[in-house]
Amino acid sequence: MTELQAVWQDLSDGGLWLELVVLAACMAISYLFARRLGQGQGPDSVWFGRRIWDGVLFAMLCVGLVFAARLALQNFQGVALLRIALPVFVSLAVIRLVVRVLSAAFPTSAGAQLLERFVSWLAWGMAVLWIAGLLPAVLRELEEIHFALGKSRITLRTILEGLVTSSLVLVLTLWLSATLERRVLRETVKDLSMRKVATNALRAFMLLIGLLFALSAVGVDLTALSVLGGALGVGLGFGLQKLAANYVSGFVILLERSLRIGDTVSVNGFEGVVTDIKTRYTVIRANNGREAIVPNESLITQKIENLTLADTRVLVTVVVSVSYEADVAQVQNLLLAAAKAQSRVLAEPPPGAFLSAFGQDGLEFTLAVWIADPDGGMLGLRSELNLAILAGLRSAGIAIPYPQRVVHVQPAPPL
């Protein structure tokens, strides 16, 4: 008798109503228990999801309760409905796990969405084969399809099992690293740059360990990876040295904290705020919206101006010329009044107005002010200062000199 015939016979016999009641009770208990534990959890939780029933915990609880109910009832009556429900909930748990983890780790990645669809189709296909009783036959057929790789015999079943195992291990690794980052690093590491380097190092370490576990689970001899490691070392020494230098420089920058996220820097004349530090490059965003992607090696080997490394306060200067007949003290008072009228100008250190030079056309004064928010831009502040200075000079009757040039006309020589 085939599996489908056995399921149909069990469904035809009496007691189906009892299975329905047991299945509904298992789902209700799983939902209530998950809802009880999920109080206060965010909508991005992998365990509980947005509506409890779309989380991993609900599906896993259903698997456990349905399996226990099937073992308890199979000695008294047929359990066809529970036999169908078990692979359905197993597939649902796998799909929920992969989808929730990938959505949390790569929220905008098209590749992650494609992988979610592939895992969904694969899980539901395995569930159908499991229910129909065709899964052992399919596995035997996959075992017969093989090819030789040196002295090793590799079957199609081994390859598929390796892909599935590796995918699950990597998904669990991403989940664990994201959980440690959210629950541990955000509470213990307050500095954003140090949290970034700890997150990158933790994720790389966890992915490496997960990959080794996945390779070991499918029967790959890990000692053979020494050859690959030697080849990789040669490749890094010749063709990938620039790439390796950028990666190493990224970790050096994050560890030394010479550049931090939020610092205002100037690189080769490009001034902006550091918005992100990757392991290979650093993103700098200017006030006009333009972004520069700078390789990390350049930030280590070249001169970089960090305007906010030791102190977030930045000095802004404005130069103005007045006529030589103007009262110097009055001009200084007007400049200081214009500076104190701006909300972004700090009171400590106080602004200063200085007679900086004797120009060709007039006296040159320099107004120096300090601000604490250089990421807000300096062009707008200079404009406000210039407008206030111009209004003050005009109201006081102080002239701003124009450039004057003397032209000498030589008489024409006699014919």
Residue 92 has pLDDT above 70, yes or no: yes
pLDDT of residue 101: 74
If asked whether residues 34 and 168 sit together in one domain, one would say yes
Mean pLDDT, rounded, for 188-214: 67
Confidence class for position 209, pLDDT limits 50, 70, 90: confident
If asked whether residues 194 and 131 sit together in one domain, one would say yes
If asked whether residues 306 and 270 sit together in one domain, one would say yes
Span of 145-154, 232-241, 258-267, 307-316 with lowest mean pLDDT = 232-241
DSSP annotation of 77: S
Q: What are phi and psi of 367, to 5 degrees?
A: -100, 120
If asked whether residues 152 and 69 sit together in one domain, one would say yes
pLDDT of residue 55: 75
pLDDT tens for each residue of 389-408: 999 999 988 888 877 677 77
Is 271:264 a contact under the CB 8 Å cutoff? yes
pLDDT of residue 1: 45
If asked whether residues 26 and 116 sit together in one domain, one would say yes
Exposed/middle/buried for 369, CB within 10 Å: 0-12, 13-18, 19+? buried
Residue 152 has pLDDT above 70, yes or no: no
Residue 173 has pLDDT above 70, yes or no: yes
The Cα–Cα gap between 55 and 102 comes to 13
Mean pLDDT, rounded, for 153-181: 73
Residue of 331 and 22 predicted with greater confidence: 331
Average pLDDT, the chain: 78
pLDDT of residue 389: 92
If asked whether residues 162 and 28 sit together in one domain, one would say yes
If asked whether residues 30 and 89 sit together in one domain, one would say yes
Residue 81 has pLDDT above 70, yes or no: yes
The Cα–Cα gap between 271 and 304 comes to 10
Boundary (domain end) residue, out of 269, 295, 310 = 310
Residue of 234 and 344 predicted with greater confidence: 344
Could you identify the residue written with the tokens 């890094």? 236
Boundary (domain end) residue, out of 282, 310, 338 = 310
Span of 72-76, 171-175, 217-221, 331-335 with lowest mean pLDDT = 217-221
Q: Half-sphere exposure (CA, 13 Å, Cβ side) for 51?
A: 2
What angle, rounded to 10 degrees, do the helices at 225-237 and 241-256 form? 90
- Alpha helices per DSSP H over 133-269: 135-144, 156-180, 186-188, 192-217, 225-237, 241-256
pLDDT of residue 14: 55
Boundary (domain end) residue, out of 257, 276, 310 = 310
pLDDT of residue 386: 92
pLDDT of residue 117: 78
If asked whether residues 207 and 229 sit together in one domain, one would say no
151 in a structural domain:
yes
Is 259:277 a contact under the CB 8 Å cutoff? yes
Is 323:393 a contact under the CB 8 Å cutoff? no
Number of helices and strands in the chain (H, E):
14, 10
Residue 385 has pLDDT above 50, yes or no: yes
DSSP bridge partners of 292: 284
pLDDT tens for each residue of 248-304: 787 777 777 778 888 888 888 888 888 888 878 889 988 778 888 898 888 888 888
Strand-pair category, 270-277 with 314-322:
unpaired
Q: What is 218-238 written as a DSSP string?
A: TT--GGGHHHHHHHHHHHHHT
Q: Check which CATH number belongs to the domain holding 298 and give it.
A: 2.30.30.60
If asked whether residues 103 and 235 sit together in one domain, one would say no
If asked whether residues 15 and 137 sit together in one domain, one would say yes
Confidence class for position 338, pLDDT limits 50, 70, 90: very high
If asked whether residues 354 and 273 sit together in one domain, one would say no
The Cα–Cα gap between 354 and 366 comes to 5
Confidence class for position 355, pLDDT limits 50, 70, 90: very high
118 in a structural domain:
yes
Residue-range definition of the domain harbouring residue 350: 314-396
Domain count, the chain: 3
pLDDT of residue 263: 83
pLDDT tens for each residue of 118-150: 777 888 888 888 777 777 777 788 777 777 766
Listed in sequence order, the residues at least 6 apart from 34 whose beta carbon sits closer than 8 Å to its beta carbon are 47, 48, 52, 53, 55, 57, 58, 61
pLDDT of residue 109: 65
Q: Check which CATH number belongs to the domain holding 342 and give it.
A: 3.30.70.100
111 in a structural domain:
yes
Is 383:318 a contact under the CB 8 Å cutoff? no
Residue 12 has pLDDT above 60, yes or no: no
pLDDT cut 70: percent of the chain above it: 77
- CA distances (Å), origin 32, targets 67, 231, 241, 340: 18, 55, 56, 62
Q: What is the pTM of this model?
A: 0.48
If asked whether residues 35 and 54 sit together in one domain, one would say yes
Residue of 106 and 74 predicted with greater confidence: 74
Phi-psi region of 184 (alpha: psi -120 to 50; beta: other; left: phi over 0): alpha
Mean pLDDT, rounded, for 6-16: 58
